[in-house]
Structure 1
Amino acid sequence: MKKFAFSKIGQKLTSSIIRELLKDVNVPGMISFGGGVPDPKTFPRYKLSEVAKDVLENEFAFSLQYGPTEGDDVLKEAYINFLKRNDNIEGLTKDNLLITVGSQSALYLLSTILLDSESKYFVSKPVYLGAASAFSMNSMNHIDLPLSEDGIDTDLLEEKLLELDKKGEISKVRFIYVIPNFHNPAGVTLNLERRKKIIELAEKYDLLIIEDDPYGDLRYEGEGFPSLFKMAGKNRVLLLRTFSKVLSPGMRLGFVIGHEILIRKLVMAKQAVDLCSPSLTQRIAGRFLEKYDLKELLKPTIEIYRKKKDLMLEELERNFADMEGVHWTRPQGGLFIWLTLPEGYDTMEMMASGKKNGVLFIPGSAFSIGGGCDNSMRLSFCLPSEENIIEGVKRLKKTVVEYGKEKGLL
């Protein structure tokens, strides 16, 4: 057997636990609270099929051909109008947008152009594992910021920045990465006071904010806050958006919105990675946005997810209220609930028992770059049926109790 010589990055690569778990989803009788996989009933398939037919028949010269690395101008113009109408973001041009193969591609490109082995960056703890895997390929010098119901700890952010400044290392800090709305995996939302504080600190130390917002359009209750991009502008914030949760993940379309200098550098990196995003899905999405009001079409989706979210919260209360030290977040939107068990529980170890009992979840340690969150797990309520949410939480309780007794924790 030939021994292959891998690069340092190649040696660090590991398989995504979510990708691996998805292999078990199709096991008969299995209930998955694992991946943030949208409910297929929410896909506007008939409207998309009509648009796709027209694009294929009448715009085949573009849609079936290679496209520009920057992205389809039709989709860019339509998305600029979407942001203006729904997020009050004005003044953008096509040079401020890059269309990527989902937002994961954007995170990889950002890691490529911003991070080297000496770079430092701020992330939440827990952190979105897609960002963790992309950033850690180039730098392990992450600085964790604990989460509360109001988002990342901005007091600690201020303290850490002051320490770095005093040590003369502030120039090594490349960015502050935040998911402000319905955080993945925690489900919490960054409040207005903390949004202002992050911007204030970024201005003081001349830092870039990466605002990753896949879930902002999936609000089920309460009032939203303006985006950091809206508040601070393209000189300070790079905004990531995606169609994966609100239109179709299979279209693989993400958006990077920011300063034209940053966008241009990302374009250069993308040329080396995948040349261009798919022309076909871009043009279909562009014509779809021109023809339909996506926010209006999302209303039935929001109703579906609201019911599922409320049901899972009710079932968690019903099954776990009697267990001391168990708590969970109560999101106002998005796709995830973060469940934390007492100290001593290891949800990675619990996975095998969960599979045996017919329930899947993502262990908390997957959402940490340097370790931790061992007694927590991410639960996704968007894909399972209401019946499976009820049964799945019962199976989860059984798994927790069995593990607790086995380890002498109960």
Structure 2
Amino acid sequence: DVAKLKETLTAIETDDSGIERVFAAVIASVEEFQNYRRPDPRTREPRRNVMLIVLSDEAGDDVAQADEAVKLCRRNEVPVFVIGVPAPFGRQETYVKYVDPDPQFDQTPQRAIVHQGPETLYPERIRLRFSGSRDFDDVPIDSGFGPYALTRLCYESGGIYFTVHPDRNLQRAVKWGETSESAAYFKYFFDPEVMKRYRPDYVSTEEYQRRIKSSRLRTALVRAAQMSWVASMENPHLRFVKRSDAELAQELTEAQKIAAKVEPPIQMIYQTLQLGESDRQREYSPRWQAGFDLAMGRTLATKVRTEAYNVMLAQAKQGMAFKDGKNNTWVLRPSDDASDAGSLLKNLSDKAREYLNRVIDEHPGTPWSMLAAAELKDPLGWKWAETFTDLDPPAQGGGNNNNNPAPPPRDDQLQMLQRRPTRPIPRL
């Protein structure tokens, strides 16, 4: 009865708390209707078939009850079908385009944080920022799967998790302005057919932990992914004017402090991942292969860029002669060749490319491949170039030179009066 179904759904009251106890709701529903699954004394068959259909736009705030929900559904043979959102790749939170539902308030779209991931029980993506554009750090991308606990509930109960998104586009990037109201923003989506072979392990928490502990590779990746965000060098100093030997040396020393601050946490991630390298050839799961190779490749690339920067500055402090006597400025430029920083870093740069290219070659059309390609866009090494800087440039004119007067300032106070009031974004 479609009309009755619509009436029932419309009658559901809005909960402004923002807390979603989806697993508690599943448990309560199965307990209420499990009598229908008891055998009929005459036929010895269950009296009715029962299924649950869940509509949810988040991962649920009571994930701790997922194991209980799975056991109850399996014991009573009640499949669960969820119509829900895709999880962001390797992240717990993403944001939706929120517009205040009351037209009396400002209708400007805002970014509201929501809990829709991750797609795995534990994060498997290291939190290492890109050295160039931070686009992939701050912009969520589709994981190809739903939130882990809800998807596992469907999988283990014999149901299906249907990922639904109004802006899904497999052909190009999606802009924030194209995102539908109340929908989560994903810049990139991936073909479900391609992602099938990368399905996470939908097993109990105990079994998931056992599988991780049985593999040094998986243990290393999960531990590395749980570390705090590590920033790469942000806006490193690349131009050094030689006014005197002492001033140049001081400027180079100050620049080295940027690398010195970043190197220890990068080294910690690298050492953690190294513990899993010996199990790389034994790993059979495409998902874990792609995750580990991407993590190791990105960590090595960031390590080489950072340490090579430090080495090049140290070389300059030892003294370098300009080829052209009129030049007075050293410029450090990115280079695809890291050999100027020494054979050790050159070998590590080759190893980084090997890992990243393997991800691209073996896992095309996946989030891992996209991130590996983004990492390779930034050169791993550095080279010195020389140029001239005018130390006594002509003064800039400051007069008005009879130009037209500047327009009067806008009446900001009037603009504020015309604006609708704003209010805090509620918990969604």
- When normalised by structure 2's length, the TM-score is 0.21
Between structure 1 and structure 2, the one with the greater Rg is 2
Larger relative helix fraction: 1
Give the structure with the larger strand fraction.
1
Which is bigger in relative contact order (C-alpha 8 A, separation at least 6)? 1
